[in-house]
């Protein structure tokens, strides 16, 4: 047995729908600007250029159903996303083999301190302070691929307090799930336990304490998160 000098950090995991087992999380890759209309609303050109990714930390995942409003921000935005969970990985994975590595899918939120992200962008700094903070990745249970969606099509929608805020279709993704897996594997060794947050449709906006966010992805399920 390894003789750790301090108590080892807890392994983060997510529940698996219909199972007593849980899914251990290794890394979280998040793509930026993967839906044209969202790219436009953020002030950028939606022409297909190379994708870019940032990362959240595995322990930013929160499966409690609550989102504690974070400190140091007064403009925290929701970004509803399809989350892809990998059961295996490797390097230089071809697009035609990419889907063999998918364990399943979940509904997730890429919560963003938009004001801090904006300062980072303006100053050419990394995005972590706006993206990779405590509880910044609420997500629901992972639905095994055999029981869930074709990730290339399906309605994706977020309501806040019953009002529709974000609406789109997975078929609007500029980079498909298979392309993201292949692309990431050219730059990283991707592996079992990795999650990919696949980008958000248009309609991102702020939340305040007390708001209830309900996100749905057709073929995957529904996620309800209360801002506390
Ligand atoms: Mn996002």
Q: Return the percentage of the chain with pLDDT > 90, whole number.
A: 90
How is residue 173 written in tokens? 């993704």
CB 80 within 8 A of CB 107: yes
CATH number for region 13-227: 3.90.850.10
Distance from the CA of 1 to the center of ligand 1, in angstroms? Answer: 40
Q: How far apart are the CA of 2 and the centre of ligand 1, in A?
A: 37
Asked whether 132 and 140 are in contact (CB, 8 A), the reply is no
Ligand 1 centre from 63 Cα, in Å? 18
Q: Which helix (H) or strand (E) holds 182?
A: helix 177-187
Instruction: Return the pLDDT at 99.
Output: 97
Q: 103 C-alpha to center of ligand 1: Å?
A: 21
How many angstroms does the Cα of residue 108 sit away from the middle of ligand 1? 10
| Banded pLDDT at 28 (limits 50, 70, 90) | very high
Query: What's residue 49's pLDDT?
Result: 83
- Direct distance between the N- and C-terminal alpha carbons of the chain, in angstroms, rounded to an integer: 40
In terms of Cβ atoms closer than 10 Å to its own Cβ (0-12, 13-18, 19+), residue 12 is buried
* Residue 40 pLDDT exceeds 90: no
Asked whether 206 and 145 are in contact (CB, 8 A), the reply is no
């Amino acid at each position: 047995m390894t003789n750790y000098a301090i108590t080892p950090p807890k392994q983060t995991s997510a529940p698996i729908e219909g199972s007593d087992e849980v899914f251990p999380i290794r890394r979280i890759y998040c793509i930026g600007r993967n839906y044209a209309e969202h790219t436009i609303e953020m002030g950028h050109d939606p022409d297909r250029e190379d994708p870019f990714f940032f990362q959240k930390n595995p322990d930013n995942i929160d499966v409690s159903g609550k989102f504690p409003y974070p400190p140091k921000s007064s403009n925290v935005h929701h970004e509803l996303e399809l989350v892809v969970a990998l059961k295996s990985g490797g390097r230089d994975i071809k697009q035609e083999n990419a889907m063999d590595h998918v364990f399943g899918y979940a509904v997730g939120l890429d919560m963003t301190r938009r004001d801090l992200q904006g300062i980072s962008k303006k100053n050419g700094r990394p995005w972590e302070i706006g993206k990779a903070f405590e509880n910044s990745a609420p997500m629901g249970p992972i639905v095994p691929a055999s029981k869930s969606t074709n990730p290339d099509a399906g309605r994706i929608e977020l309501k806040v307090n019953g009002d529709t805020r974000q609406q789109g279709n997975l078929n609007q993704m500029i980079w498909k799930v298979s392309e993201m897996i292949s692309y990431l594997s050219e730059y990283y060794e991707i592996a079992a336990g990795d999650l990919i947050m696949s980008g958000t449709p248009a309609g991102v906006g702020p939340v305040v304490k007390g708001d209830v966010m309900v996100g749905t992805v057709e073929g995957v399920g529904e996620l309800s998160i209360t801002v506390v």
